Amino acid sequence: MTGKTVVLAVDPGETRIGLALSDPERRFALPLAVVERRGDYLAEIAKVVVERQVGEIVVGLPRSLKMKETASTKRAREMARQIHQACGVEVHLLDERLSSVQAQRSLADAGHSRRSSKGKTDQVAATIILQNFLDGAR
């Protein structure tokens, strides 16, 4: 990681993309937003990068429980490549197995129903991915 800049996490879902940001000291991950996959989501992510002065991006890399590559893995790799081209900042891939399950569990523990937490799950999953990235860099 380079300097004390904000890190953006991207949880690449098929319908929605969860976003989370770190603090400038890179200690904490905070949920930011959900971007719909349809439309120009790359422009929305690039806008966040500029407005929040993002220095690096981490994209969740979904794999099977046996660490096998899947169609989702290939889509995430392609999204990471496109984000790098659109934003011009370093992009990392991080194993995100079970981050969505962990996010759903956290929301359920906080009293959210599956229905009410639909969009929030993506943000929380991005937050989990980012916190894992930040903790691993220490």
Low-confidence ranges of the chain (pLDDT < 70): 1-4, 64-65, 97-119, 137-138
**CATH at residue 70:** 3.30.420.140
Element (H or E) spanning 16, and its range?
strand 16-22
30-46: b or e for each residue (b if 16 or more CB lie within 10 Å)?
A: ebbbbbeeeeebbeebb
Tally of structural domains, the chain: 1
Round the average pLDDT of the chain to a whole number and report it. Answer: 84
Question: Is the residue at 1 inside a domain?
Answer: no
pLDDT digits (tens, 9 = 90+) for 53-88: 999 999 999 876 677 788 888 999 999 999 999 999
| Distance of alpha carbon 18 from alpha carbon 116, whole angstroms | 16
| Distance of alpha carbon 31 from alpha carbon 1, whole angstroms | 20
Helix residue ranges, H only, 11-137: 41-51, 71-87, 99-109, 118-137
Q: Quick one: pLDDT at residue 64?
A: 67
| Distance of alpha carbon 65 from alpha carbon 85, whole angstroms | 30
Q: Quick one: pLDDT at residue 111?
A: 59
Residue type, 1: M
Structure tokens at 74: 């290939």
Q: Quick one: pLDDT at residue 114?
A: 59
Question: Is the residue at 111 inside a domain?
Answer: yes
Question: Is the residue at 101 inside a domain?
Answer: yes
- Range of the structural domain that residue 50 is part of: 6-137
What is the pTM assigned to this prediction?
Answer: 0.83
Q: Quick one: pLDDT at residue 3?
A: 57
Question: Is the residue at 70 inside a domain?
Answer: yes
| Distance of alpha carbon 17 from alpha carbon 37, whole angstroms | 6
Other C-beta atoms lying within 10 Å of the C-beta of residue 8: 25
